[in-house]
Amino acid sequence: MLSILDPLRDITFLSVAVRMLLAAVCGGIIGVEREYKRRPAGFRTHILICLGAAMTTLTSQYLYLVLHYYTDMARLGAQVVAGVGFIGAGTIIVTRRQRVKGLTTAAGLWSAAIIGLTLGPVFMRAVFWPPC
């Protein structure tokens, strides 16, 4: 792997700041497009969802790697997916003309959450790699 990323693999202030910055940038890219088209759930909403998902993943890693709580690291991430699905379902409505609105908004929120879940551990070394 790239040795230049070694300082970012541990859970330090610098690595957390870089991960949160990446999550804000990626969520903001999705949100800017939504704001430009004057759609609901714009810039701030996508950044918040992406940051929240990244923090959730970092919390899972912190519990496992630093505090040595031997739990499933994917458990908190699964709750993010369920929660964002609930939020996304609330954005989808059917109008009087039987047209579905809000589907793209729901998909954008879900995508921002998944990007945040991905960016939380982006620099982490695999815990069980290389295999024994």
pLDDT tens-digit readout, 2-48: 677 777 777 788 888 888 898 899 889 988 988 888 877 788 888 88
69-80 pLDDT, tens digit each: 887 878 888 888
DSSP state string for 49-95: HHHHHHHHHHHHHHHHHTS---S-TTHHHHHHHHHHHHHHHHH-EE-
| Spatial CA neighbour of 119 closest among 32, 42, 50 | 50
**pTM listed for this prediction:** 0.73
